[in-house]
Amino acid sequence: MELIKITDRSSAVTTFNKPMRYNPWPHFLVIIEDIILASNKARAYFGLVGYHFHPDDITRHLGIEPTSINADGAQSGLDKPVISSWEFSTDTITSDDEEIDIYKLIDDEILKKIEPAKDKIIEVCKSHNLSPRISVELELSVDKDESCPDVGFGSRVTKFCAEIGAFINVDYKLSERI
């Protein structure tokens, strides 16, 4: 009997798309399920969003280098306003690499770096009419054996958000099969 390693569904289809005496698919699907399910993914970010501002002005004022910006609103007219954004983000982490802990992610990666600029954030939000936010983006695995990430916000985060007038946003979606 020949043993064949299946690495994905397409190789299984090409390997076993031959006439056989019995249907092997029920046996292979168990193996393939382990291969094609995605892990949990998460990232958190602090963002400033508004109309008619240039993110480089915010960077100069705060003294914090953003991880991404969108300056579309800086050139938009008053008749059709477009949103600009300034974002300070964590890297996207997966449950393959480490356990996803949103409490720790926001405290260690976001708050420790932006909290010293709290007064400047308040000033720039007032002067540019910006909406501050702390956001979490989750992509949840459909694998029933995958643990759910811890999502929550400690008192330090909620106090900081209250002081600067920020809101907290959690976006999630279910992962697709790979």
- What pLDDT was estimated at residue 3? 47
For residue 48, CA distances in Å to 103, 125, 164 come to 21, 8, 11
- Report pLDDT digits (tens) over 20-56: 555 555 555 444 445 556 788 889 999 999 998 899 9
Interval 88-129: pLDDT, tens: 999 888 887 777 778 888 888 899 999 999 999 999 999 999
Q: What is the pLDDT of residue 12?
A: 47
CA distance linking residue 18 with residue 24, whole number of Å: 11
Highest mean predicted confidence (pLDDT) among 7-11, 68-72, 74-78: 68-72
Mean pLDDT is highest, among 127-136, 141-150, 167-176, for: 127-136
Q: What is the mean pLDDT of residues 139-168?
A: 86
Q: Copy the structure tokens of residue 136.
A: 């979490």
The pLDDT of residue 24: 56
Q: Which residue has the higher pLDDT, 143 or 54?
A: 54
Grouping H, G, I as helix, E, B as strand and the rest as coil, residue 97 is: coil
Tell me which of 23 and 161 has the higher pLDDT.
161
Domain layout of the chain by residue ranges? 1-36, 41-174
pLDDT single digits (tens) 55-66: 999 999 999 999
Candidates 126, 131, 132, 127; CA nearest to 110 is 132
| Residue-level pLDDT at 148 | 77
Model's pTM, two decimal places? Answer: 0.73
Strands 41-51 and 93-94: antiparallel
